Structure 1
Amino acid sequence: MKTPNPKKARPRVNAQTRFSTCAKPLMDEALRCAARLDEYADELHKLRVALRRLRTLLWAWRPLLDREAVEIERAYLKRAGMAAGSARDWDIALPLLREHADEAALVDERMQAARVEARERARATLAASDLKPALRDMLHTMNRALNTAHERVPVKRFARDRVQTAQRALKKRERRAKRAMRDDYAAWHDVRKAAKKLRYLLEFFAADLPRREVKRLKSLKKLQNRFGALNDAVSVTHLVDAHREVFANAASGDATLAALARTGKRRMRRAGKLIGA
């Protein structure tokens, strides 16, 4: 029996090879969800999350890639995610509307019809976007660019630098949100997006970062949940305002919008406590 040579060099993990390790499962998840949209209602949400993670992944590796090419791919992923998100908004809206409106005020058939119509539009948009070949071409192009690079970048150093960049961005947005007026929702929404980006990076690089960094995931998830609840209230408010036909009459719509506004304010206060606002 041949004795293993302890001095034999192991394959070195670098930032270039780590990209494919992260990207391939996300691409597979997105395509799996896209293929099952007709079977399971929750697949739209899962697809949206997978596409969002892929966008963050491309942002993370942007320093090692052609910036313009990366932004083109990220824009494509954003458009596909928005198609899924437009239908997802109705999934969020239905339980929240039933919580805030009298049953008599709602016309359930109209709500369900609007939801079905949104899902059909999402399916059509995603089908027209050629998601499968687009994602495979993206992965092939990015891997080729990374694997032909002359310089190999240590993954631990790369992970630290990108996480620090995302942490600074989150802190900047938290300061901006604290200074913003309560009705300046865009500043608060930016906090949620920055927290989400940092969370995804910590998950991508969990094996390459100090344990104390990965432990931040718990607080980030809490922040993301509270700001996500705020975002749900704001999104549903805009959706209802654009689709007042789901109510039995104008007075019912006005009353529900007022109730949603109060919910939004409560959720904003809860979210604000996490950033000292």
Structure 2
Amino acid sequence: MSQSKSGCKNAQAEFSRFAKPLVDEALAHAAQGEPSPDDFHKLRVALRRLRTLIWAWRPLLGRKFADLERAYLKRPAAAAGEARDWDIAISLLGDEQTKPDTERLQTARRDARARASSTLAAADLKHALREMLRRVNRELNTSPRRTPIKCLARERVRAARRALRKRMRRAQRANRGDYAPWHEVRKGAKRLRYLLEFFQPVLRRRESRRVKSLRRLQDRFGALNDAVATEHLLGQHREVFADAATADAALAALKRERKRRRRAARELLG
């Protein structure tokens, strides 16, 4: 489809075209009897992208409606994230001197996956996500005005870019031990990248070139977040180590890695 033709379509009618494939992808990974780490990861990504879509359409949906729908999507994503956190922790603790006790670690992983599977089952995603689509479409169809998809895309990309710049400035000013603003940079980069990917057919060509730099930013800040989250997780679960000395060595190694990744991420703040 040419850019001009796709740009003429109205945003209200286009929401489902973007959202339905993501709903189908989320359900495919949630439906596994015993979801693998990859299933949990891909489920989280699909739900995050859905949350970004609803944020993009928020001017047409209203803030209260959109924020409620986004909050619902965050809960199952967080459950899947808890299970995946243990796999990230394992990948970061490669040194023999810092490895957790294998049996205790596997028990912790199984427990986390069981909790995630239980939460996903209780959420009844198959029904809930399809109902969400119907609610959003009904809300959009009652809108008194039609908005060209090109106008919505450009407006929301500009808004996401402004928000990312503000987050980057906050991270620059943050205290050394305050990682919350750094995490917000990662989320802001992810949102802007998703929007550029969604709306690529109706955006100016130069916008697409920015995806590569956003991926780099997202990767650096994501690596930092993994180190921070793993340090916090294992600090709360020292019981997965054979003894206190091993736990102390692991946490010290994670602290060094966290500082190294913080320096690498800071280079991209300008």
Deviations 1:35-93 (Å, cap 9, x if unpaired)? 12515331011001111111111111011013222211111111111000000101111
Partner residue in 2 for 1:148: 142
Pairs aligned (count): 266
C-alpha deviation, 1:106, in angstroms: 2.7
**Which is richer in helix?**
2
C-alpha deviation, 1:179, in angstroms: 1.1
Deviations 1:2-56 (Å, cap 9, x if unpaired)? xxxxxxx999511112211110001000001101251533101100111111111
| Match for residue 196 of structure 1 among 190, 213, 226 | 190
Distance of aligned partners of 1:11 and 1:100 in 2 relative to their CA distance in 1, 3 Å threshold:
closer
Partner residue in 2 for 1:68: 64
C-alpha deviation, 1:124, in angstroms: 0.2
- Secondary structure at 1:151 match in 2: coil
RMSD: 1.7
Partner residue in 1 for 2:132: 138
Further displaced range: 215-224 or 59-68: 59-68
Listed as ranges, the matches of 1:178-217 within 5 Å are 178-217=172-211
Partner residue in 2 for 1:169: 163
1:81 and 2:77 aligned: yes
C-alpha deviation, 1:127, in angstroms: 0.3
| Match for residue 232 of structure 2 among 216, 238, 251 | 238
C-alpha deviation, 1:145, in angstroms: 1.6
Q: Which runs of 5+ in 1 are unaligned?
A: 1-8
Distance in 1 (CA, whole Å) between partners of 2:73 and 2:193 is 19
Distance of aligned partners of 1:39 and 1:194 in 2 relative to their CA distance in 1, 3 Å threshold:
closer
| Match for residue 102 of structure 1 among 97, 103, 107 | 97
Pair member with larger Rg = 1
1:125 and 2:119 aligned: yes
Distance in 2 (CA, whole Å) between partners of 1:40 and 1:106 is 21
The AA in structure 2 aligned to 1:82 is A
C-alpha deviation, 1:150, in angstroms: 2.4
Partner residue in 1 for 2:262: 268
Deviations 1:149-173 (Å, cap 9, x if unpaired)? 2211011111110000000000001
Q: Which runs of 5+ in 2 are unaligned?
A: none
Partner residue in 2 for 1:24: 20
- Secondary structure at 1:83 match in 2: helix
C-alpha deviation, 1:101, in angstroms: 4.8
Distance in 1 (CA, whole Å) between partners of 2:81 and 2:156 is 27
Partner residue in 2 for 1:5: none
The AA in structure 2 aligned to 1:259 is A
| TM superposition score normalised by structure 1 | 0.92
Distance in 1 (CA, whole Å) between partners of 2:82 and 2:212 is 29
Distance of aligned partners of 1:272 and 1:254 in 2 relative to their CA distance in 1, 3 Å threshold:
same
| TM superposition score normalised by structure 2 | 0.95
- Secondary structure at 1:274 match in 2: helix
Tell me if the contact between 1:195 and 1:224 (Cα under 8 Å) persists in the aligned partners: yes
Distance in 1 (CA, whole Å) between partners of 2:6 and 2:38 is 42
Tell me if the contact between 2:153 and 2:202 (Cα under 8 Å) persists in the aligned partners: yes
